[in-house]
Structure 1
Amino acid sequence: MNATQPLVAVSTDVFECYDYQRHTAPQQYLEAAIGAAGVFPVLIPSFGDQLRLDQLFSAVDGVLITGSSSNVHPALYGGSASEVNGPYDTARDATTLPLIRMAIDQGVPLLAICRGLQEMNVALGGTLATEIQEQPGKRDHRAPQSDSSDERFAVRQTVVLNSGGCLFGMLGASKIDVNSLHRQAVERLASQLEVEAIADDGTVEAVSVRNSKCFAVGVQWHPEYWVKSDEPSARIFRAFGDAVRDHAARRTARRGVG
Structure 2
Amino acid sequence: MTRAIIAIPADTREMDGYVWHASPDQYATAALKAADVLPMIVPAFASDLWGDGDMDAVLNRVDGVMISGARSNVSPTLYGEAENAENGPYDPARDATSLPLIRRSLEHGIPLLAICRGIQELNVALGGTLATEIQDLPGNLDHRRPESDDADVRFGIRQEIFMEPDSCLIGVLGGETAKVNSLHRQAIGELAPGLSVEARTEDGVIEAVTVDGARAFAVGVQWHPEYWAQSDNPSKRLFEAFGDAVRDHAASKRRWNSI
Q: TM-score range by the shorter chain?
A: over 0.9
Determine the structure 2 residue equivalent to 1:130: 132
Determine the structure 1 residue equivalent to 2:254: 252
Q: 1:117 aligns with which of 112, 116, 119?
A: 119
- Structure-2 separation of matches of 1:101 and 1:235: 25
SS of match in other structure, 1:47 = coil
Deviation sequence 1:136-161 (CA, Å, 0-9, x none): 11111000111111111000100001
Q: 1:37 aligns with which of 35, 38, 47?
A: 35
- Structure-2 separation of matches of 1:163 and 1:18: 50
Q: Which amino acid aligns with 2:257?
A: R
Determine the structure 2 residue equivalent to 1:196: 198
Deviation at 1:179, TM superposition (A): 0.1
- Structure-2 separation of matches of 1:150 and 1:115: 20
Give ranges in structure 2 of 5+ residues lacking alignment. Answer: none
> What root-mean-square deviation, in Å, do the aligned CA atoms of Structure 1 and Structure 2 show?
0.8
Determine the structure 1 residue equivalent to 2:23: 25
TM-score normalised per structure 1: 0.97
- Rate the CA distance shift 1:19–1:25 in 2: closer, same or farther, 3 A: same
Deviation sequence 1:41-89 (CA, Å, 0-9, x none): 0000001443301111111010000000110000000112111100000
Determine the structure 1 residue equivalent to 2:160: 158
Q: 1:221 aligns with which of 220, 223, 228?
A: 223
Determine the structure 1 residue equivalent to 2:181: 179
Q: Which runs of 4+ in 1 moved over 6 A?
A: none
Question: How many aligned residue pairs are there?
Answer: 255
Q: Which amino acid aligns with 2:4?
A: P
Conservation of the 8 A alpha-carbon contact between 2:174 and 2:234: no
- Structure-1 separation of matches of 2:236 and 2:224: 11
Determine the structure 1 residue equivalent to 2:209: 207
- Structure-2 separation of matches of 1:148 and 1:171: 27
Deviation sequence 1:82-125 (CA, Å, 0-9, x none): 11100000100000000000011110000000000000000000
- Structure-1 separation of matches of 2:46 and 2:56: 13
Determine the structure 1 residue equivalent to 2:170: 168
- Structure-2 separation of matches of 1:48 and 1:103: 19
* 1:70-149 equivalences in 2 (<5 Å): 70-149=72-151
SS of match in other structure, 1:22 = strand
Q: 1:14 aligns with which of 12, 33, 42?
A: 12
Q: Which amino acid aligns with 1:45?
A: P
- Structure-2 separation of matches of 1:162 and 1:48: 37
Percent of paired sites with the same residue: 54
- Structure-2 separation of matches of 1:219 and 1:59: 25
Determine the structure 1 residue equivalent to 2:243: 241
SS of match in other structure, 1:37 = coil
TM-score normalised per structure 2: 0.97
